[in-house]
Amino acid sequence: MAMTIKELMGRMPGAFIPEKAKGVDVVIQFHMTGDQASDWVATIADGVCKVEEGAEENPTMALTADAQDYINVVSGELDAMQAFMQGKIKLSGDLNLALKMTNFFKLD
């Protein structure tokens, strides 16, 4: 069964690896479009990752993508760099955070 964006976002705190994000204090806005359009905010601070539905006015980084494309990137079916180069994922704010973020999580 295919994962939904709500399931993926719900799994993020449990997949978070605090040791990989030492000293990180960021707010990430996820703006999902398409069939599963929704907004999510991930806050990483003090070795904890919290994710909730909603919007943040001044995030450290914002990511906009079709929800299914983002699920495909996270699951490894779509290469993140290719998706970015093809405009399937749009980033604003701290772009270095986008590169580091891949190390902060381990989804099984």
- The whole-number pLDDT of residue 98 equals 87
The verdict on domain 5-99 having CATH code 1.10.10.10 is: no
Domain positions in the chain:
5-99
pTM over 0.85: yes
Which phi-psi region, left, alpha or beta, contains residue 11 (left: φ > 0; alpha: ψ -120 to 50)? alpha
pLDDT, tens digit, 9 for 90 and up, residues 95-108: 999 888 889 998 76
* 96 vs 106: CA distance, rounded Å: 19
pLDDT, tens digit, 9 for 90 and up, residues 26-65: 999 999 999 999 999 999 999 999 999 999 999 999 999 9
